[in-house]
Amino acid sequence: MVSRHDTTAVDIIDGQTTADNTVARQADKWSRYGDDRLREECGVFGVFDHADASALTALGLHALQHRGQEAAGIATCDGTQFHLERRMGLVGDNFNKQTVIDRLKGRSAIGHNRYSTTGDTILRNVQPLFADLDTGGFAVAHNGNLTNALTLRRELVSSGAICQSTSDTEVILHLLSRSKKRRIVERFVDAIRQIEGAYALVGLTDDMLIGARDPVGIRPLVIGRLDNAYVLASETCALDIVGAEFIREVDNGEVVAITKDGIESHRPFPKRPAQPCIFEYIYFARPDSIINGRSVYDVRKQFGVQLAAESPADVDVVVPIPDSGVPAAIGYAQHSGIPFELGIIRNHYVGRTFIEPEQQIRALGVKLKHSANAGVIRGKRILLIDDSVVRGTTSKKIVQLMYEAGAKEVHMRIACPPITHSDYYGIDTPSKEDLLAANLDNEGMREFMGATSLAFLSINGVYRGVGETGRDSLRPQFTDHCFTGEYPTPLTDQNGTEAPRQLSLLAEVL
């Protein structure tokens, strides 16, 4: 018989291989050099009752690496002990060693890929986070961002809480520890009733795997089955890599508690239609994932079809900006009948080691990642297709690259509307003054990029691409506020309460 209190014994292994810092810094550096994208923040994964729980979790996180490259962590429980390994850097660089997997004992596990929007890139912010509660140990991992975490943290600290990280997610552990409910799942419900914002959560106790989605359903979470085990993951591509069968999505506002008796579903919030983040379709999710029954790849092709219908162009060839512009460019070419060609070749090894000299690399800029396929470009009127534009810096450099390769005209078509508002739900968006479309009209953006013509897909075009007849302006079917400015939840922390310059006095040196 395992007495509850024995289960709080935990060993935490935090570490970094030599390359970690370099990878993190490189990732940051290259984003400056050529990757003008919104950045999704984090992927989560969980397994309940499987002999290879930790190895499966490492595989699942690997499949979700596109949701966060800064750091990763896995927590397991073997019924008497929790085991936690957290590392800076990529999953494949840290969880590919048998010794690490062997240390992560137990038949249940949760894991997390991190891309920081809240909390510095420091080890103690790497998830899963763990706490000893009087009900036993509890590990939690979170995709999304809480819009009242600062306010809650302030209240918690002023009433004696001691925070171990600067992550918004930690408030959930404090709220859990203060709940007066008896069962852990009831305490969990108590805690999430007090948080706002976007969250897909996985939690682990010594005998339960918990999954939850915020009442709006902004961030995705799915349930799978692998033999007798249950799997939770941010995307279906993570179910595919471990061979798990897709069961269903966790509904918006639902908490699932998975135990030896199966799945227990709780719905602690008033029922409301889901409004998932539309950008998961536009850019974040992997093309081979299925969201809400729709293939992400097919939806992106449909964005291209809608774009061709809305904004035709008299050109010789359609050229995608790889990789995320490819499906929409195929859709555009198929609908318009204009030939599709890979006029830009992407170097997939940009993240790997690259030594200074700084200035020379800075001058290379976008060429480190993209090069012109001159045979396709020279003397042609080309149409570039990209999935989105944030600051416009990459678009400008790629238009220049096309002219240098001999293009006669360079037209741009963007498979989503102009991004005019920042995100508070777990996406790393620049502030408004850095968003190109928040500061320039279409003609201004065309001039900035140096393009012959420029057009964005309309918001209704995006909704038609996802299979709707159009956007329901009274009750939008999706969260789309980076285009519309209509935020689906209160933004408590943004309402006048000045975010403290430094959340913690402990400066951690990596």
Give yes or no for residue 425 binding ligand SF4 (CB under 6 A): yes
Name which of 92 and 467 has its Cβ closer to ligand SF4.
Answer: 467
Which part of the chain contacts ligand SF4 (CB under 6 A), choosing from 63-71, 87-95, 455-463, 473-481?
473-481
Do 250 and 212 form a contact (C-beta atoms < 8 A)? yes
Shortest distance (Å) from residue 488 CB to ligand SF4: 8
Decide if residue 480 touches ligand SF4 (CB under 6 A): yes
Answer for which of 481, 489, 493, 503 binds ligand SF4 (CB under 6 A) is 481
Least separation in angstroms between residue 269's CB and ligand SF4 is: 18
> Which residues does residue 426 pair with via DSSP β-bridges, in sequence order?
none
**Does residue 37 bind ligand SF4 (CB under 6 A)?**
no
84 DSSP β-pair partners: 12, 75
Neighbours of 228 (CB within 10 A): 9
Spatial separation of the C-alpha atoms in residues 409 and 403, rounded to whole Å: 8
Q: For the CB of residue 483, give the shortest distance to ligand SF4 in the complex, in Å.
A: 7
Of the candidate residues 139, 226, 277, 390, the single one contacting ligand SF4 (CB under 6 A): 277
217, 479, 489, 503: which one binds ligand SF4 (CB under 6 A): 479
| Set 42, 77, 237, 277: catalytic member | 42
Q: Which stretch binds ligand SF4 (CB under 6 A): 83-91, 379-387, 419-427, 496-504?
A: 419-427
# binding residues, ligand SF4 (CB under 6 A): 12
Cβ proximity to ligand SF4, 25 vs 432, nearer residue: 432
Residue 218 beta carbon to ligand SF4: minimum distance, rounded to whole angstroms: 5
Q: Please answer whether residues 234 and 200 qualify as being in contact, where contact means their C-beta atoms are separated by less than 8 angstroms.
A: yes
Query: Is residue 423 involved in binding ligand SF4 (CB under 6 A)?
Result: yes
199 near ligand SF4 (CB under 6 A): no
Tell me if residue 163 is catalytic: no
Distance CA 389, CA 412 (A): 11
**Ramachandran class of 217: left when φ > 0, alpha when ψ lies in -120 to 50, beta otherwise:** left
Q: How many residues does the chain have?
A: 510
Q: Is the dihedral of CA 471, 475, 480, 481 positive or negative?
A: positive
Cβ-count burial of 221 within 10 angstroms (0-12 exposed, 13-18 middle, 19+ buried)? Answer: buried
Is residue 60 within 8 Å of 240, Cβ to Cβ? no
Structure tokens at 484: 């519309």
Contact between 279 and ligand SF4 (CB under 6 A)?
Answer: yes
Is residue 138 near ligand SF4 by the rule CB under 6 A? no
Choosing from 90, 139, 482, 503, the residue that interacts with ligand SF4 (CB under 6 A) is 482
User: What string of DSSP letters covers 460-484?
Assistant: HHHHHHTT-SS--SSS-SSB-HHHH
CA pseudo-torsion sign 37, 39, 40, 44: positive
Q: Which run of H or E residues covers position 413?
A: strand 409-414
Based on the shown chain and the rule CB under 6 A, indicate whether residue 394 belongs to the binding site for ligand SF4. Answer: no
Interacting residue with ligand SF4 among 210, 321, 333, 427 (CB under 6 A): 427
Q: In Å, what is the CA distance from 100 to each residue of 48, 85, 340, 470?
A: 19, 8, 46, 49
Burial class (CB in 10 A: 0-12, 13-18, 19+), 503: buried
Which of 53, 59, 216, 218: binder of ligand SF4 (CB under 6 A)?
218
The 315-354 contact track toward ligand SF4, x by CB under 6 A, reads ----------------------------------------
Integer Cα distance of 126 and 120 in angstroms: 9
Choose, by CB under 6 A, the member of 123, 278, 313, 462 that binds ligand SF4.
278
Q: Does 459 bind ligand SF4 (CB under 6 A)?
A: no
Catalog residues that contact ligand SF4 under the rule CB under 6 A. Answer: 38, 218, 277-279, 423, 425, 427, 479-482
Catalytic residue numbers, as ranges: 42
